[in-house]
């Protein structure tokens, strides 16, 4: 299907939202998707918050899929200092380059975006606000409105699209996905921004009746555009059954 957002004219995409919204997994997938569509893409790791689960950890795996990863230099790559990679500016200033920026979650994670504001405006960038309505502070349209207003102010960016990512990690059922989606749809209607697509884990796609042949990829589910993810995080403790 056609992309549900104007990626060809605005190939730079910023992902913002609360911690746990699913931005990093989405950023990995979007950059891989763009790499296959445009013959290459750049993924910028601007996460100055999360010490472990960030793009740079999967650098080799993602670069093997045609994505150039820009992250802090080797000497500080495993650190927790707010170092932004200078190459990020170069990537964003290069016309036509397909770029995805992953931002750290929550309030401190958004602050680096202030320095990107002018560049983003010059690129006519897509700014996605990613929402998981099962995270504290995002569970109702009213909570969402408050968090959205606060985070937009901190990021200094104009959000262009909403993205729904309703999930409880491995416990996401079809019913739970639909329940969360309604919350985000109500919020979208309330603030008048388009709910551009919903994120669906590959294991849920079949249960929703989506025949996702190529991952990651955009598909339709009734009136809803969905982006079906490949899971790039695979960690040993996820296999261990708890309780």
Partner 1 sequence: MAKVLMKGNEAIGEAAVLAGCRYYFGYPITPQSELPAYLAKRLPEVDGVFVQAESEVAAINMVYGAGSAGARVMTSSSSPGISLKQEGISYIAGAEVPCLIVNVMRGGPGLGNIAPAQSDYWQSTRGGGHGDYRTIVLAPNSVQEMADMTITGFDLSDRFRNPVLLLSDGVLGQMMEPVNLPEPNDYDINSKKWALGYRGNDKNERNLCSSIFLDNDELEEHNWHLYQKYQVITDLFSKGEYKDFAVEEHLCDDAEIILVGYGIISRILKTVVEKCRKRGIKAGLIRPKVLWPFPTAVFERLAKTASQFLVVEMSCGQMVEDVKLSVDGKKPVFFFGRTGGTVPSDFEILNEVDKLVRPD
The answer to whether the beta carbons of residues 45 and 20 sit under 8 Å apart is no
Q: How many CA atoms lie within 13 A of 235 on its CB side?
A: 8
Nearer to partner 1, 39 or 243 (CB): 243
Shortest Å distance, C-beta 165 to partner 1:
10
Residue 35's nearest CA partner among 57, 7, 58 is 7
Nearer to partner 1, 42 or 172 (CB): 172
Nearer to partner 1, 64 or 242 (CB): 242
Shortest Å distance, C-beta 39 to partner 1:
34
Shortest Å distance, C-beta 17 to partner 1:
13
Cβ atoms within 10 Å, residue 145: 13
Nearer to partner 1, 168 or 182 (CB): 168
Q: Both tokens of residue 200?
A: 């669906």
Angle (CA) 217 233 166, round 5°: 60
Shortest Å distance, C-beta 134 to partner 1:
5
Nearer to partner 1, 21 or 210 (CB): 21
Residues in CB range of 36: below 8 A, 6 or more apart = 65, 66
Shortest Å distance, C-beta 81 to partner 1:
10
List Cα–Cα distances, 52 to 105, 113, 217, in angstroms. 13, 21, 26
Shortest Å distance, C-beta 239 to partner 1:
4
How far apart, in Å, do the first and last CA atoms of the chain sit?
Answer: 42
| H helix count then E strand count, the chain | 9, 9
Nearer to partner 1, 211 or 235 (CB): 235
Between the CA atoms of 48, 53, 59 and 62, what dihedral angle is there, to the nearest 10 degrees?
-120
Nearer to partner 1, 1 or 81 (CB): 81
Which residues form the interface with partner 1 (CB under 8 A)? Answer: 19-20, 50-53, 78-80, 106, 108, 132, 134-136, 139, 167-171, 235-237, 239-243
Shortest Å distance, C-beta 45 to partner 1:
16
């Amino acid at each position: 299907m056609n992309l549900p957002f104007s990626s060809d004219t605005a190939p730079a995409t910023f992902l913002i939202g609360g911690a746990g919204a699913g931005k990093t997994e989405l950023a990995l997938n979007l950059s891989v998707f763009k790499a296959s569509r445009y013959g290459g893409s750049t993924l910028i790791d601007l996460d100055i918050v999360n010490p472990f689960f960030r793009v740079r950890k999967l650098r080799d795996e993602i670069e093997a899929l045609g994505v150039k990863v820009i992250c802090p230099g080797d000497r500080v790559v495993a650190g927790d200092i707010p170092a932004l990679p200078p190459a990020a500016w170069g990537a964003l200033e290069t016309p036509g380059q397909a770029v995805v920026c992953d931002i750290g979650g929550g309030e401190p994670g958004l602050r680096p975006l202030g320095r990107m504001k002018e560049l983003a405006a010059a690129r006519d960038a897509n700014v996605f606000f990613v929402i998981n309505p099962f995270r504290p502070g995002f569970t109702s349209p009213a909570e969402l409105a408050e968090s959205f207003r606060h985070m937009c102010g901190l990021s200094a960016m104009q959000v262009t699209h909403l993205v729904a990512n309703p999930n409880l990690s491995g416990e996401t059922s079809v019913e739970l996905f639909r329940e969360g989606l309604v919350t985000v749809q109500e919020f979208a209607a309330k603030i008048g921004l388009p709910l551009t697509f919903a994120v669906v884990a590959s294991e849920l796609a079949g249960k929703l009746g989506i025949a996702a042949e190529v991952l990651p990829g955009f598909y339709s589910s009734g009136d809803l555009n969905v982006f079906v993810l490949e899971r790039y995080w695979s960690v040993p403790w996820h296999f261990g059954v708890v309780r």
